[in-house]
Structure 1
């Protein structure tokens, strides 16, 4: 009988431990039953953006034969990339060797032979293939565009007028600053 009593006592203890464990677990669930929340606000600002690159023209001018009576027409190119739907305008400054009387809206551009006593060749840059609309350095004389989010290429139509006979031979250059305003 003592064996049964010990077994019964053992079972009672296990039952008590089980009931107490369940009570403790139930209590701990009650301790964590409430919740609170917060909202995290994430913000990204997308700025308008444009990039630009330019490739000038290279040509040969023959003052005695080919260009004695015929203009030398060539093209250059400008590549732009602007954010989607961003309105912009591409302007070209007067160049590093602008002639007297040159203005941003009516540039008188010149190519220079360089050196201490430079010699010049006149030339013009245009927005159209017929070379009738000068490309200047003002919003009104610049080339408008609307960004597509992709690269857009614009042709620059150059003309070196015929009949120029410089006293110096060699390479003539000019640097024109291309600006995209958006």
Structure 2
């Protein structure tokens, strides 16, 4: 039989009696912090192209020929903007009287910001542009352009066209 020392006999006796004291585990620790999340939203505007088709013009008619079209302006909410229309490409055109062309012939027309056709649409900010200087109230806005060919314009038959640049300042 193996020889036991007095200390090993006490350990064996304590083990048999279940009287060993368990050593507690180390306390768990936590740490905390924060995550900063940021983003910036840019002021952006996009405008669609449009077509204003007056249809058939009768130069003998006693009344003007009216037409209208819409373009879509999409801007970041809260973005102030101004929309201007240039004079177009017709020879001798101004923003007050633009010119449709057919070969060397021209047919005058006007563009307006209002349905009653009293507010000329040009490209001088604050004067004859469509202004939303407070801010864009919706992401997508439908913009109506009103046109008019004056009555009794003496022009030869033909297909007349023009191209007007739309500029959005924001």
The TM-score bracket by the shorter chain reads 0.7 to 0.9
How many angstroms does 1:9 deviate by? 3.3
- Mapped to 2, the partners of 1:54 and 1:131 lie a distance apart of 21
The answer on 1:74 being equivalent to 2:67 is: yes
Give the helix-richer structure, 1 or 2: 1
Query: Given the alignment, which residue of 68, 77, 84 partners 1:84?
Result: 77
Query: Given the alignment, which residue of 109, 123, 131 partners 1:144?
Result: 131
The alpha-carbon distance between structure 1 residues 121 and 12, as it changes in their structure 2 partners (threshold 3 A), is: same
The answer on 1:45 being equivalent to 2:72 is: no
DSSP 3-state at the match of 1:43: coil
DSSP 3-state at the match of 2:148: strand
The alpha-carbon distance between structure 1 residues 11 and 153, as it changes in their structure 2 partners (threshold 3 A), is: same
Tell me the equivalent position of 2:165: 177
Following superposition of structure 1 onto structure 2, how do residues 103-142 of structure 1 map, counting pairs within 5 Å? 106-114=95-103, 118-139=104-125, 140-142=127-129
State TM-score, norm by structure 1: 0.72
CA RMSD of aligned residues (A): 3.0
The alpha-carbon distance between structure 1 residues 13 and 92, as it changes in their structure 2 partners (threshold 3 A), is: farther
How many angstroms does 1:14 deviate by? 10
What are the ranges of 5 or more consecutive residues in structure 2 without an aligned counterpart?
1-8
How many angstroms does 1:124 deviate by? 0.7
How many angstroms does 1:87 deviate by? 1.5
What are the ranges of 5 or more consecutive residues in structure 1 without an aligned counterpart?
1-5
Tell me the equivalent position of 1:3: none
How many angstroms does 1:90 deviate by? 1.1
How many angstroms does 1:130 deviate by? 2.2
Report if aligned partners of 1:79, 1:153 keep a CA contact under 8 Å in 2: yes
DSSP 3-state at the match of 1:9: helix
Deviations 1:128-151 (A, max 9, x none): 222221100111210112312332
